Amino acid sequence: MSSKQQQQIASTTTAVEPSPPPAIIKVNRDDAAALKRGLDDLVLGYFLETKGFQPDYSISNQKLLVATIAVSMALLAQFWPEPFPKNWWILFVCCGTYAILANIVFQYILWFKEKDIILQTTTGEPTPLNVKSSMPKVQYNYTLCIQSRQDQNISEQLVRPVGSFYDETGRLDDVKFKKAVQDLYSTFQNAEKKKKK
């Protein structure tokens, strides 16, 4: 291989390719769940990627543990070595445990521990956070709440119609929404500083 070919190969391999443009989020404006999911994804990106927060997976781990135990009980009932009339008691215990774990305990975690939380952080600049979002089914108001995990009285909330962040074609104005999230987080930080004084 000649030196000219080596230089051409070297120049093509060291050239920096331009990064692709950011993905445009476009959803069906009649699908409330898709509208909320698009906004939630940007909120998660802001706190995890831009701000560098670390997520806390404790609630997800609790749900996985409950689901694993429930499925284990179902498998035990399915593969117990004795035939049905002799193993009625083990079927009763396993099915009852499965029903309690899969329905009651799992729903308790969803309704009372997780609530509307889309992100819990283990670390934070001043404090770990709970980030919550909600959007009622028949209304198109998106609510975003940032709350301190240490003092739940410290929280800030943003309520806006989703139409202020999406255009007529269903395209999300991510710059405008990120600015709103950034302003909300700045307000939260100021409220937290005032509370500590």
Residues in the chain: 197
Q: Which residues of 37-70 are buried (b: 16+ CB within 10 A; e: fewer)?
A: ebbbebbbebbeeeeebeebeeeeeebeebeeeb
Range with lowest mean pLDDT among 56-60, 84-88, 158-162, 171-175 = 84-88
Adjacent-strand bridge partners of 145:
132, 157
Q: What is the pTM of this model?
A: 0.73
Concatenate the DSSP letters of all residues of 37-97 into one string: HHHHHHHHHIIIIIS---B--HHHHHHHHHHHHHHHHHHHHHT-SS-GGGGHHHHHHHHHH
Q: How far is CA 88 from CA 77, 79, 83, 187, in A?
A: 10, 13, 9, 60
- pLDDT at position 73 is 86
Average pLDDT, the chain: 81
More confident of the two residues 143 and 94? 143
- 55-72 pLDDT tens trace: 888 888 888 888 888 888
Radius of gyration of the chain measured on its C-alpha atoms:
25
Closest by CA position to 94, among listed 59, 84, 62: 84
Q: What is the mean pLDDT of residues 135-161?
A: 88
| pLDDT over 80 (residue 3) | no
Q: What is the mean pLDDT of residues 122-133?
A: 80
| pLDDT over 70 (residue 7) | no
Percent pLDDT > 90 in the chain is: 16
pLDDT band of residue 8 (cuts 50, 70, 90) is: low
Adjacent-strand bridge partners of 147:
130, 155
Domain boundaries, the chain: 25-53+121-196, 59-114
Closest by CA position to 81, among listed 72, 68, 90: 90
Range with lowest mean pLDDT among 47-56, 66-75, 107-116, 156-165 = 107-116
